[in-house]
Amino acid sequence: MLNFRFVKDYLLHRLRAKNRHGLHSPFVYKLVDTVIYNYADQKVYHEVENIRQKLLVDNRVISITDLGAGSHLNNNRQKRVGDIAANALKQPKLAQLLYRLAANFKPRNIIELGTCLGITTLYLQKAAPEAHVYTMEGCPQTAGVAQETFAQAGLNSVELITGNFDDNLPGAINSLDQLDFVFVDGNHQKDATLKYFEWCLPKVHEDTVLIFDDIYWSEGMKEAWAQIKEHPHVTVTVDLFWIGLVFFKSGRVKEHFLIKY
Ligand SMILES: C[S@@+](CC[C@H](N)C(=O)[O-])C[C@H]1O[C@@H](n2cnc3c(N)ncnc32)[C@H](O)[C@@H]1O
């Protein structure tokens, strides 16, 4: 939802953020230059966007169970799949950035919190076909449509876990020796976001990337992002306004980068 505070934060970010010029960190310069700003068209984008187009015209109506930031609102609402596709999914520009990030970091495992209809999951799996992808969704009927999406795309290495993140994330983290790539795209509340971050910490390593969506969505999310940045294990963050990237590279002075996207 657009509000005055959000627009102000966006404009401030545009004023303060850099593009690739003037970046003195070779790691961040390379990431921005070759991954974040690599807008070249790719065949895979068309494959996934064709599936999004089908979801956009899907007139089936499903019952929504909301376990996230909107759960205090009217729960168990009926929604058209096409309306969910239009309103709840990452737009192509961001979803394709996630694809490039996963393709660049070559994770062995990926955890996604917030499958919804499965569009970002498709991008992530296609970016890292060898990776084991765990994606979690709290709404059973939404998860059902995502499962169809995966079948349509011929994906077989995605594990869709239905239920509350609170119940399923600790087990998924425990089952892995380390976490390579985590995308948090659901339940945008301060305490929940900080909890997911804390749960990930014991398994992060030199090359882990944690990605938090909607870091300016509310005052609570801004506070969560500020606390994540300040955590002693975090060394580099990249704030793209829409999402924030968190790295744990050792032997570095803590640095936070604001990048225009
Ligand atoms: C923004 S959507 C995800 C969009 C998806 N990543 C994409 O762009 O293709 C967030 C999803 O997280 C789910 N969700 C929110 N809070 C949750 C929770 N606590 N446990 C499980 N699922 C949750 C919602 O049901 C919703 O489908």
Give dist(CA 134, CA 186) in Å, integer: 14
What is the number of the ligand 1 atom nearest to the C-alpha of 187?
Answer: 16
CA 66 to centroid of ligand 1, rounded, Å:
8
For the segment 51-102, what is each residue's pLDDT rounded down to a tens digit? 999 999 999 999 999 887 666 555 668 999 999 999 999 999 999 999 999 9
Pair type for strands 132-137 and 109-113? parallel
Q: Which of 126, 167, 185 to mutate to test the pocket of ligand 1 (most atoms within 8 A of CB)?
A: 185
Q: How far is CA 39 from the centre of its chain?
A: 19
pLDDT at residue 75, as a whole number? 60
The mean per-residue pLDDT over the stretch 175-191 comes to 97
Q: Which domains does the chain have, with CATH numbers?
A: 4-258 (3.40.50.150)
Residue identifier of the C-alpha nearest atom 1 of ligand 1: 88
Alpha carbon dihedral 177, 181, 182, 183, in 10-degree steps, equals -160
Structure token pair of residue 13 = 């970010």
Tell me the whole-structure pTM to 2 decimals: 0.96
Radius of gyration over every alpha carbon of the chain, rounded to an integer in angstroms:
18
Provide the strand spans (E) within the chain.
61-64, 77-80, 109-113, 132-137, 158-162, 181-184, 209-213, 236-239, 243-247, 255-258
For the segment 98-149, what is each residue's pLDDT rounded down to a tens digit? 999 999 999 999 999 999 999 999 999 999 999 999 999 999 999 999 999 9
For the segment 220-255, what is each residue's pLDDT rounded down to a tens digit? 999 999 999 999 999 999 999 999 999 999 988 899
Residues with CB under 6 A from ligand 1: 66-68, 88-90, 114, 116, 119-120, 136-139, 142, 164-165, 185-187
